[in-house]
Amino acid sequence: MSKRILVSSLIGVAVVGGIAVGGFAMASSSSEPALSDSSARYKAPAGGGAGSLTFTTDVRDDSGVKGLKVIAWPASSKLDPSEEELRSVDDAECRRVSDETSRCTYTLKVTEKEEAELDRGTWHISALATAEDGGTAFVPRAAAFDVTG
């Protein structure tokens, strides 16, 4: 066997082995959940009907999405909720759109009486996403909206 063939064979084995190891590392690594395409819309009550706050976001994780917790708070309050505090707030409804992504929507009805008591100005949405594998992603300011009036 010539040295040229032997060296080429060894290089081929090293390259294939490196690809296999790299592929295994990529397949076994997991990432934390991520939010994208987040938006918040506030509609004030009118004509005796209820208004609403709607927050929508896409949550992605390679293990799948278990859920999303959401809270809205006025910027003027300086509340700035923590990840721990979000563990006990309202759940968004999440609908699976692929193996790794869910579209999550949080809707809150607002009566005229409630609207009259709301702080005017900018409000923030904080969100806590949880993946099927237990990973979490806390987004302290996932979206913003204004309450005017």
The confidence score (pLDDT) of residue 48 equals 87
Alpha-carbon distances, residue 7 vs 14, 77, 141 (angstroms) = 11, 70, 56
Q: What is the mean pLDDT of residues 125-143?
A: 97
Distance CA 143, CA 58 (A): 13
Within 8 A by CB and 6+ apart from 64, the residues are 96, 99, 100, 102, 131, 132, 133
| Domain positions in the chain | 1-30, 34-147
How would residue 1 be classed by pLDDT, with cut points 50, 70 and 90? Answer: very low
Instruction: Note the pTM of the prediction, 2 decimals.
Output: 0.79
* Digit-coded pLDDT (tens) for 30-86: 689 999 999 999 999 999 899 999 999 999 999 999 999 999 999 999 898 999 999
Query: Taking Cα atoms as reference points, which of 18, 21, 31, 23 lies closest to residue 133?
Result: 31
Class of domain 34-147 as given by CATH: mainly beta
The tokens of 88 are what? 């006990």
pLDDT at 24 over 60: no
